[in-house]
Structure 1
Amino acid sequence: MTLPVALSGHDVIGQAKTGTGKTLGFGLPIIDRVRVSADVDAGRCTAAELTTGPQALVVVPTRELCTQVTNDLQTAGKVRNVRVLAIYGGRAYEPQVEALQQGVDVVVGTPGRLLDLARQHKLDLSSVRILVLDEADEMLDLGFLPDVEKIMTMLPTRRQAMLFSATMPGQVISLARRYMTQPTHIRATAPDDTGATVAAVKQFAFRAHSMDKVETVSRILQAEGRSLAMIFCRTKRTAADVSDQLTQRGFAAGAVHGDLGQGAREQALRAFRNGKVDVLVCTDVAARGIDVEGVTHVINYQCPEDEKTYLHRIGRTGRAGASGTAVTLVDWDDVPRWGLINKALDLGLADPEETYSTSPHLFELLNIAPGTKGVLPRADRTRAGLGAEQIEDLGEPGGRGRPAARGESRDGGRGAGRGESRRPAAAVEAPAAPAEERPRRERQRRRTRGAGAAEAVVEATVVETAVVEAAAAGTGVVETPVVEPAGRVGRGGRPAPPSPQQRQ
């Protein structure tokens, strides 16, 4: 439905359910309309019309979605040799700037890094003829709207604009009216699929206790026919904790959340796509647009914030006509929130049944074998695990790759312990001289006040300098003259305190 309108150069607002091919809905028109060297050979354009700057710009909300869209466009544009570049944060600037200088046709990026490079005049947007906002409503939720508007002001006035998303709130429509010219709103739905969610996804909701959730999830992950599974949490701490607990129970689990460096996030996603990890625990950064084949189960470990987040979470399964299972574990505190989600989407799951890890109806509904425990049997631990996937050094700004261990400095060395002085390396490594070779310091310690303090400091400095020089020359003992401080001398040779006139 989108291709005829987009190929003709008209503005498009595309709305369809998750997993229905929105990426190629805008990707194929981009690949067809950009001018490359093959068009010169075919006579469709002249060599003067070719440019080294990007001709198409795709703006996405998350880094993971940026890499996925880039890979899809590179695959589709391989025959025409379309140059596609991903620009997003968490990576070093230099490789991205070098790639821009060599010339690109399509740029896919996140708003922050795109705006940074454009302000530094490293990214030239004057040749952009096609603009795409993918998952536009998510950019509004993440607060990217000001950045997106600034990017739009840098683009040429005459351009084609396309917005794509599964949910289209009123703010997106108002954005379209401001920056688009008579857009065609295309909403694609199957005739027999009237609900807001994909009909091929079986949905379940259980009221579960937070202390029993990991045990319940461990049993769900051993259901019959389960292949890859994604577990969604609301907070980064919960995602990291659930991933660690499932790993201890024998599951090949990885985590994707905002506290991880970009290298670790891409490592977990690569391991998940390659099958080395079959359980991906993540926050909502992975709920948008991530397309991995073979995801059969999606588990909402914590109730989503609203119905839009719920739609995008469960949309990671049941993609491209496949079937899937979505399970939501609702805390007692989240029952009112779940009631609003159920009412908005008309799911028919208004009153989740109280469920524990040993409840018989859990085993029956999700096809879990009776007697299944919360620890994966050793015979079923066939996945290579997250450690089998190499972590890539991305040159992350600020050294945000591997977090330093406790007591370890950023440069990889061990820091000073408690009560241990942080001395320079040279001072630590210098060997101590034997006792008999050390020069004997003939230093008179004098307590001075007033005018005599400066002379005493000079005396101590002279004595120490002489001792060091004598030690270097091997001359042994150094005789140091006694330097008498200037001024009045009191009892015992000590300087007398200053008189009242001197104080004034």
Structure 2
Amino acid sequence: MARSRPPAFASDCVHRRGNALTTTFRDLGILSETAEALEAVGIISPFPIQEMTLPVALSGSDVIGQAKTGTGKTLGFGLPLLERVTVPADVEAGRAKPEQLTDAPQALIVVPTRELCQQVTNDLLTAGKARNVRVLAIYGGRAYEPQVEALKKGIDIVVGTPGRLLDLAGQKKLNLKHIKCLVLDEADEMLDLGFLPDVERIINMLPPKRQTMLFSATMPGAVIGLARRYMSQPTHIRATAPDDEGQTVANTKQHVYRAHNMDKPEMVSRILQADGRGLAMIFCRTKRTAADIAEQLEKRGFASGAVHGDLGQGAREQALRAFRNGKVDVLVCTDVAARGIDVGGVTHVINYQSPEDEKTYLHRIGRTGRAGAKGIAITLVDWDDIPRWQLINKALNLGLSDPVETYSSSPHLYEELSIPAGTKGVLPRAERTRAGLRAEEVEDLGETGGKGGSRGRDRERGGRDRDGRDRDRGRAPAPAPEAEREPREARTPRRRRRTRSGTPLETPAPAVAVAEAAPAAVASPEAELTEPRAPRRRRRTRSNSEAAEAVVDTVETVQPTEPAEAETEAPATKPRRRTRKAAEPAAEVTEAAEPEAEAPAAKPRRRTRKAAEPVSETVEAEIPAQPTEETKPRRRTRKAAEAPAAAAEEATVTKPRRRPRKAVAAPAEES
């Protein structure tokens, strides 16, 4: 039978083996419209898992299907699902009544990853094209509004990830009361502890009477026992080809090398230049490693893309789309792309880092050697990963427990992988023929948020998280750019420290100006009390020598015989640190001097209260009492009240820092 159209699935290659497989989909009893849609894309004969599953599933029984990767499990559960839903084409053909039609979903498929969700949706749309079956993919990373609008118009089959399904069901946007059939694809992953709570919540929303099908390439006994809780007398179908023994596909040739982590990028670059290499997938354990290797390969001249969780959904779909279209021939990804991704022409799979367990290993290498095609799987095991690899080898019985120590220059690497002699770690410019990732446009998905690559776009749009909420709500606004800020010199100075009791203070005058105006202050005491005060200064609380000397100079000008002397002595400064004992002799000199000028009355500190009392009495005798608000000095000038007025005569005598007690007491006795 001639086939003029290119196949739509990567698994179409096996359907060309007309001599080996004689059964057709029409023989299995599917609808003629569905068979026509499959034949239009070149699918004629079923796989073993499809041939064994369809009769049981079409009867309405629960099924547990297990088959190797790349053997057509999607159509194994997809075709029975398409047969169970009722669409207007069935009413026109007389197979259903009009009252059986509904706009609510009639079948539900739950998958673990977004990429697999999109792929299953495309396969079902292709198979149900003749009957016009409406299929909708619901997964995170896309805007809610288009999905909600599609649900309002009417959907027959919903394919989704657990998180977004629960979101829409909780908002009453998704009606699950009419579900006739439930499918858990990659069931071992869906029933794992990470997904199990969400899957249980979804199952509780479904009608009790329904058909349930579970499909996966790996199905441990514990998962099967757990699955039976949600199923009614299921039939366990495990399909294998007669000539395919073991758990891995026979068409995939496996190589394992013990490699050093520093030499792995060079080894991968040379492996990618092997003869006959088509599309290649490189798997890493961590997102950071995947991003780093993709960047290094791009610098070496390879057309590479990355798929991992730190990328936004638009960037992930862009990389996969470019990989399918051939614009990118190297896809570096984490295990999000290890399950169910079906891309034709993948010849090499490289495990850059050893997988966690045997299930992950099987799903990784299952991206090549699909549908009867041949493939090569290469695993690079670091020295630290040898124990992990030996467990995987024992579980799968591969016979590769002791990998050979290999470097990028090892001769056996070139020989086993058909790498041309003299190949280096940089792709020659003549072979750089791919368009690259930038040639594939990023689709505007109306992303609700994401990490890594989408963060910059999210910030430009105002920043929204994965649930669509504003991340900046409740935060302080971002500072203005430097060019828009007001210059520091043009700012209005702070006035909080220049007021007292609501009355603003004027700018203080220098100490020299106060000394020059001293005679006028003696003639008018009220004028002195209203003199502008010096500004408060930080870290001058222990010794305010300059303010003290300013007051001393003012008092000294009372004596008319030496006015010029007071002006010349004003700049004199005292040592920084004055101890209590150094201030006591000066207080005794104050009692003998009896100054005629007054100093502002102030509450002295506790440690010099006795020394300040004589000065306070003198001021009270000569100056009438003033309001407390005007006469109360600031804390910074309390030392001025403690300083003696007659100390101006002894200004020439300066005391050193920290002199012994006896040395300070001697001048006090002489005075």
**Aligned counterpart, 1:176:** 227
| Distance in 2 (alpha carbons) for counterparts of 1:43 and 1:254 | 50
1:454-497 per-position Cα deviation (integer Å, ceiling 9, x unaligned): 4549x9xxxxxxxxxxxxxxxxxxxxxxxxxxxxx953267526
Partner of 2:383: 332
Q: Would you say the 8 A contact 1:263–1:401 is kept in 2? A: no
Determine the structure 2 residue equivalent to 1:153: 204
| Preserved contact between residue 446 and residue 456 of structure 1 (Cα < 8 Å) | no
8 Å CA contact retained: 1:256, 1:269: yes
Q: What TM-score results when the alignment is normalised by the length of structure 2?
A: 0.64
Q: For residue 19 of structure 1, give the secondary structure of its aligned residue in structure 2.
A: coil
SS of 2:499 mapped into structure 1: coil
Matched, 1:226 2:277: yes
Within-5 A mapping of 1:1-400:
1-141=52-192, 143-398=194-449
In the alignment, residue 273 of structure 2 is paired with which amino acid? Q
CA 1:447–1:34 in structure 2 vs 1: closer, same or farther (change >3 Å)?
A: same
CA 448–316 in structure 1, closer or farther in 2 if over 3 Å, else same:
same
CA shift in 2, pair 1:337/1:40, >3 Å: same
Sort the Cα spacing of 1:361 and 1:178 in 2 relative to 1 into closer, same or farther, 3 A.
same
Map of 1:410 onto structure 2: 459
Is structure 2 residue 630 aligned with structure 1 residue 496?
yes
In structure 2, the CA distance between the partners of 1:213 and 1:186, relative to structure 1 (3 Å rule), is: same
Q: Offset of 1:5 from its aligned partner?
A: 0.5
The letter for the 2-side match of 1:250 is: G
How far the C-alpha of 1:46 sits from its partner, in A, is 1.4
Equivalent position amino acid for 1:274 in 2: N
CA distance in 1, matches of 2:160, 2:497: 70
Q: 1:423 to 1:75 in 2, by over 3 A?
A: same
**C-alpha distance in structure 2 between counterparts of 1:426 and 1:205, whole Å:** 56
Is the contact between residue 256 and residue 265 of structure 1 (CA under 8 Å) also seen in structure 2?
Answer: yes
Superposed CA offset, 1:10-60 (max 9, x none)? 100000000000000000111111100011111211111111110000000
* Larger CA Rg, structure 1 vs 2: 2
SS class of match (1:395):
coil
Q: Given the superposition, is the C-alpha separation of residues 133 and 71 from structure 1 closer, same or farther in structure 2, using an over 3 Å criterion? A: same
Amino acid at match of 1:130: C
CA distance in 1, matches of 2:166, 2:496: 64
Task: Provide the C-alpha distance between the structure 2 equivalents of 1:409 and 1:70, rounded to a whole number of angstroms.
Answer: 28
Q: Is the 8 A contact 2:84 2:180 kept in 1?
A: no
1:398, CA displacement in angstroms? 3.4
Unaligned runs of 5+ in 2: 1-51, 463-476, 507-527, 534-628, 634-671
User: CA offsets per residue over residues 94-144 of structure 1, 9 Å max, x none?
Assistant: 111111111000000000110111111110000000000000112244701
Change (3 A) 1:222 1:273: same
Aligned to 1:428: 484
Post-superposition shift, 1:427?
Answer: 9.6
The AA in structure 1 aligned to 2:484 is V
- CA separation in 1, counterparts of 2:87 and 2:238? 32
Partner Cα separation in structure 1 for residue 632 and residue 175 of structure 2: 74
Shift of 1:173: 1.1
Q: Which has the higher contact order (CA 8 A, sep 6+)?
A: 1
How far did 1:177 drift? 1.3
Distance 2:339 2:169 in 1: 26
Amino acid at match of 1:158: K
Q: Percent identity?
A: 74
CA distance in 2 between counterparts of 1:204 and 1:286 reads 21
Q: Are the structure 2 counterparts of residues 239 and 409 from structure 1 closer, same or farther at C-alpha, using a change threshold of 3 Å?
A: closer
Shift of 1:371: 0.8
Given that 1:264 and 1:401 are in contact with CA atoms closer than 8 Å, whether structure 2 keeps it comes out as no
Deviations 1:179-218 (A, max 9, x none): 1000000000011211110000000000000000010011
2:531 is matched by which residue type in structure 1? Answer: G
Structure 1 residues without counterparts, runs of 5 or longer: 414-420, 433-437, 460-488, 500-504
Q: In 2, distance between residues paired with 1:493 and 1:353?
A: 89
CA change 1:171–1:446 in 2 (3 A) is: closer
CA separation in 2, counterparts of 1:212 and 1:348? 25
Distance 1:445 1:401, change over 3 A: closer
CA 156–490 in structure 1, closer or farther in 2 if over 3 Å, else same: farther
- How far apart, in 2, do the equivalents of 1:490 and 1:47 lie? 102
**Hey, what's the Cα distance between the residues in 2 that align with 1:374 and 1:9?**
56
Would the aligned equivalents of 2:139 and 2:161 in 1 still touch at CA under 8 Å? Answer: yes
Supply the distance in 2 between the matched residues of 1:254 and 1:205 (Cα, whole angstroms): 24
Q: Distance in 2 between matches of 1:230 and 1:303?
A: 14
2:107·2:179 contact (CA, 8 Å) conserved in 1? yes
Partner Cα separation in structure 1 for residue 631 and residue 317 of structure 2: 73
Aligned-partner residue type, residue 491 of structure 1: T
Shift of 1:409: 9.1
CA contact (8 A) 1:404 1:412 kept: no
Partner SS state of residue 67, structure 1: helix
For 1:422 and 1:275, locate their aligned partners in 2 and report how far apart those are by CA, in whole Å: 43
RMSD (Å), alpha carbons: 2.8
* Counterpart Cα distance in 2 of 1:286 and 1:445: 62
2-side partners of 1:142 and 1:358: how far apart? 44
Work out whether residues 262 and 401 of structure 1, in 8 Å CA contact, stay in contact via their aligned partners in 2.
Answer: no
Corresponding residue pairs, total: 451
1:38 match: secondary structure: helix
Amino acid of the structure 2 residue aligned with 1:214: P
Query: Structure 1 200/422 Cα, relative in aligned 2: closer, same or farther at 3 Å?
Result: closer
1:87–1:96 CA contact under 8 A, matched in 2: yes
In structure 2, distance between residues paired with 1:409 and 1:176: 40
Shift of 1:423: 5.4
Deviations 1:247-272 (A, max 9, x none): 00000000000000111000000000
Contact 2:297–2:304 under 8 Å retained in 1: yes
Amino acid at match of 2:530: R
Paired residue type of 1:48 = E
For 1:304-354, what per-residue CA distance to the aligned partner results, in whole angstroms no more than 9, with x for missing partners? Answer: 001000000000000011010000000001111111111111111111000
